[in-house]
Structure 1
Amino acid sequence: MVPDFLENLETIRTCVDHNYEIIKLILQDAEYMFENQTQEIMDEDEDVKKTFPTAADMDKVRTTLKQFVRDWSPLGQQERDACYRPVIEEIKNRFPSHQCERSSVKILIPGAGLGRLALEFTKLGFTCQGNEWSLYMLLASNFILNKCREENSLLLYPWVHQWSNNKYTEDQTRPARLPDINPAEIPEDSNFSMAAGDFLDVYTEPDDWDCVATVFFLDTARNVIAYVETIWKILQPGGYWVNLGPLLYHYADMPDENSIELSYEQVKKVIIKTGFQYEKEVMDVKSSYTQSADSMFQYQYNSVFFVVRKPL
């Protein structure tokens, strides 16, 4: 009935092999990724099969491949416009270039993923640091930000593991070209960095940042109250916190993980009780996360977008 089925499986296998070549490039200089320490890489003659990847490990790899599309491919432009554009425009308006020296404005992006949002702020002249905890994201962001120097120089097959809800056979093997811009094309005097580690552990210095921008970040918390309190602590008086995202708590259904899940109504009460003043709030912002536009299954969030300020 489907004579080309086995042939298509071979095409899928070829795409998987190609993705693996990209992954090897990502891992090539991984031991030198962190400035403050060198990672010990296992010798080739060791029995690497002693450690088997779990289903969760494989899911993170698949998510990272799709994150390349969200942050660095023309195919992710619609998602970036929905999720990043409101945050960028809001902060641009709060710190207009004709009223302040943007290089003196420090912006922190927790949960920076593959670094696109942080880079966009750097291109606007701000001092910006992205923070990321996931080693998968850190490896991929190091590769795209530090190793890629030509537009559309890479080919990736981000949907090759998506076996369901394919309208057309070729949807599964549709390629994505990236990056859509040259990550190296930023002002020479730019102050841009990525910091690895848990947000709550890395950022303890009070009154250190002019603005914190969080996109799809609050739901990564085991205790969202700790996030709110930390953002309050590290913001300078008069500083802004700009947020967009849902509350899909990552640890809610994980066994042996402590997690507190608050509604947005409760989160808002915590934000106000902490001392923040609401300056803007927009409900039901339509947004998605690493979604294939061609899939027969579409997942959409009604996100909240808010701007709060730490009083002077």
Structure 2
Amino acid sequence: MAAMEDGDDDDKLETEHFLRIVNAFRFYRSHSLMRVESADRYYKELSDDHKALIPDFRANLDLIRTSIDHNYEIIKLILQDTEHMFENKSHGLQNGGDNIKQIPPTTFDMDKVKTTLKQFVRDWSEDGRAERDACYRPIMQEIVHRFPASECDPSSVYVLVPGAGLGRLAFEIANLGYSCQGNEWSLFMLFASNFVLNKCKHVNSFTMYPWVHQWSNHTCRADQTRPISFPDIETTSISPTVNFSMAAGDFLEVYTEPDSWDCVATVFFIDTAHNIIAYVETMYKIIKPGGCWINLGPLLYHYADLANESSIELSYEELKHVITTIGFVIEKEEVDVKSTYTQNTKSMLQYQYHSVFFVARKPS
């Protein structure tokens, strides 16, 4: 009986988490418009002389409101099929979510919604091409180099992409003919990836305004309401014979089968761990003898300095010692790969990572 009760508690927590994320998406419009109204109220308090110096200020606020409304239409499409994403699971989401108790979400959750919108730029727009080329192309080139079609049937090579986000890297690997599975823990990302991979049938069929929440560092006022179109490629272009899937869940919990993957490809992922050592151990366990782990990214530990969260933060030097001590052989390494993450190329503020790229082989 106790085990059953534990299972019931787990299901309840899972449902609450699911509905919390749906609720955050549903609050997007009202939450975002509060920031616009705040700007409008302060504008009204300015002196007439100051208002005269910025005559188009309120007209731009109207453009921002319209952009937020348009983004919300996309969000409603994203939410349409979330209830049917997971097999044999029902979370009580009916009538488009009207039955959800409307509890204002946290600022953290709302930031996640905005971050998810920017992921469409990185993964599925022409604007994100340079960023993808810097981060994804080295991974794909290495996979093709190590598992060339001239020497093996790509469909017999199984590639795992943990932290797949909106799924573009996993999609591109599958498009090369490899059997590929993307894994993602965040429901924010899973909702969005489900939409773009399964519902966006035509190139550039949707428009979004991902920078509308950025209020600083604009060279031109129009930069804040600059649109992007997505997807930049037909997501139905993968051959139906190719094995391509997305799996939900925590990497450490979902992947426990030893010697099951020919390659694990991680991009901006390993620093999402509470305990990065556990990630390395799992990589070594699930990769087949002779297989490889290909990684590119920084070490921006996600749980460092977060209240009530534990985290082990290693330098790359320490991490490399862990990797080799556990048993991997590092066969390729580059420690100054210039890369960005959901970067607004028009912003006056630019962040750049000096990422590390390595290939670690599990000995045969």
Is TM > 0.5 for Structure 1 vs Structure 2? yes
C-alpha separation in 1, matches of 2:303 and 2:250: 15
Residue of structure 1 in register with 2:77 after alignment: 25
1:145-201 residue CA offsets vs partner (Å, 9 max, x unmatched): 000100000000000000010111000000000000011111120100000000000
Residue 221 of structure 1 pairs with residue 273 of structure 2: yes
Identity %: 65
C-alpha separation in 1, matches of 2:100 and 2:180: 41
Residue 186 of structure 1 pairs with residue 238 of structure 2: yes
Check whether the contact 2:93–2:99 (CA below 8 A) recurs between aligned residues: no
Residue of structure 2 in register with 1:292 after alignment: 344
Q: How does 1:145-164 map to 2 (within 5 A)?
A: 145-164=197-216
Residue 174 of structure 1 pairs with residue 215 of structure 2: no
Residue of structure 2 in register with 1:242 after alignment: 294
Q: Which runs of 5+ in 1 are unaligned?
A: none
Deviation at 1:226, TM superposition (A): 0.3
Q: How does 1:1-312 map to 2 (within 5 A)?
A: 1-41=53-93, 46=99, 48-49=101-102, 51-312=103-364
Check whether the contact 2:304–2:313 (CA below 8 A) recurs between aligned residues: yes
C-alpha separation in 2, matches of 1:130 and 1:46: 31
Deviation at 1:35, TM superposition (A): 2.2
C-alpha separation in 2, matches of 1:36 and 1:111: 24
Secondary structure of the residue aligned to 1:25 is helix
Residue of structure 1 in register with 2:29 after alignment: none
Deviation at 1:34, TM superposition (A): 1.1
Secondary structure of the residue aligned to 2:69 is helix
Secondary structure of the residue aligned to 2:331 is strand
Of structures 1 and 2, the larger Rg is shown by: 2
C-alpha separation in 1, matches of 2:107 and 2:326: 39
Deviation at 1:42, TM superposition (A): 5.8
Check whether the contact 2:93–2:100 (CA below 8 A) recurs between aligned residues: no
Counterpart code for 1:187:
S
Check whether the contact 2:218–2:224 (CA below 8 A) recurs between aligned residues: yes
Counterpart code for 1:146:
N
Count of aligned pairs: 311
In the superposition, relative to structure 1, how do residues 126 and 304 fare at CA in structure 2: closer, same or farther (>3 Å)?
same
C-alpha separation in 1, matches of 2:171 and 2:100: 39
Deviation at 1:38, TM superposition (A): 2.7
Deviating more after overlay: 237-246 vs 40-49 = 40-49
Check whether the contact 1:283–1:305 (CA below 8 A) recurs between aligned residues: yes
More RCO (CA 8 Å, sep 6+): 1
Check whether the contact 1:66–1:158 (CA below 8 A) recurs between aligned residues: yes
In the superposition, relative to structure 1, how do residues 194 and 47 fare at CA in structure 2: closer, same or farther (>3 Å)?
closer
Secondary structure of the residue aligned to 1:298 is coil
C-alpha separation in 2, matches of 1:144 and 1:17: 19
Check whether the contact 1:32–1:39 (CA below 8 A) recurs between aligned residues: no
Counterpart code for 2:150:
H
C-alpha separation in 1, matches of 2:199 and 2:99: 28
Counterpart code for 2:304:
A
Misfit runs of 4+, over 3 Å: 42-47
Secondary structure of the residue aligned to 2:182 is strand
Secondary structure of the residue aligned to 1:161 is coil
C-alpha separation in 2, matches of 1:36 and 1:85: 36
Counterpart code for 1:48:
K
C-alpha separation in 2, matches of 1:287 and 1:38: 40
Deviation at 1:45, TM superposition (A): 6.2
Deviation at 1:37, TM superposition (A): 1.8
C-alpha separation in 1, matches of 2:104 and 2:320: 42
Deviation at 1:36, TM superposition (A): 3.7
C-alpha separation in 1, matches of 2:264 and 2:64: 41
Check whether the contact 1:155–1:177 (CA below 8 A) recurs between aligned residues: yes
Counterpart code for 2:256:
T
Alignment root-mean-square deviation, CA? 1.0
1:270-294 residue CA offsets vs partner (Å, 9 max, x unmatched): 0000000010000110000000100
Counterpart code for 1:134:
S
Secondary structure of the residue aligned to 2:177 is coil
Q: Which runs of 5+ in 2 are unaligned?
A: 1-52
